[in-house]
Amino acid sequence: MRRANAERPRRVLVIDDNEGVRVTIRMLLESLGFQVTTAGSGEAGLRQVRTQAPDIVLVDLGLPGLDGYQVARRVRTEQGGSVRLVALTGYSRESDITAARDAGFDKYLVKSADPDDLVAGLEEFLA
């Protein structure tokens, strides 16, 4: 697996209502040199985007309350293209992918048990 650039560690925010997913992704990305914070809801995630200026935000689409699509739209309205948005979800229908693209996501990854799949999906952001 590739490591984050040591000169400028990438700041990643993981927004997922499943604590196990948040912890697992945080541990994986931290082991690769990323600075990782997490949020358990869309509202908490938006607050962190505003205050922490992450480089990449991994967002579960099926969040209760403010869902991932709404999070992406608000981030794009408030931050423009300054942050990379990655949908990380169990949804895999073509309509879900289209809706995520329309909401402003840069990348769409389906949740998998294989951590290498996540890292491979983020490769373009690791440079």
Q: Residue ranges per domain, the chain?
A: 11-113
How far apart are the C-alpha atoms of 69 and 31, rounded to whole Å?
29
Percent of the chain with pLDDT over 70: 91
Total-model pTM? 0.90
* Residue 72 amino acid letter: A
Q: Decide if 11 contacts 54 (C-beta within 8 A).
A: yes
| Structure tokens that stand for 39 in this block | 């949020």
Query: Which single residue is written with the structure tokens 């490591």?
Result: 3
- pLDDT digits over 53-85, tens only? 999 999 999 999 999 999 999 999 999 988 999
Give the residue among 57, 77, 54 at the shortest CA–CA distance from 68.
Answer: 57
Superfamily of domain 11-113: Response regulator (3.40.50.2300)
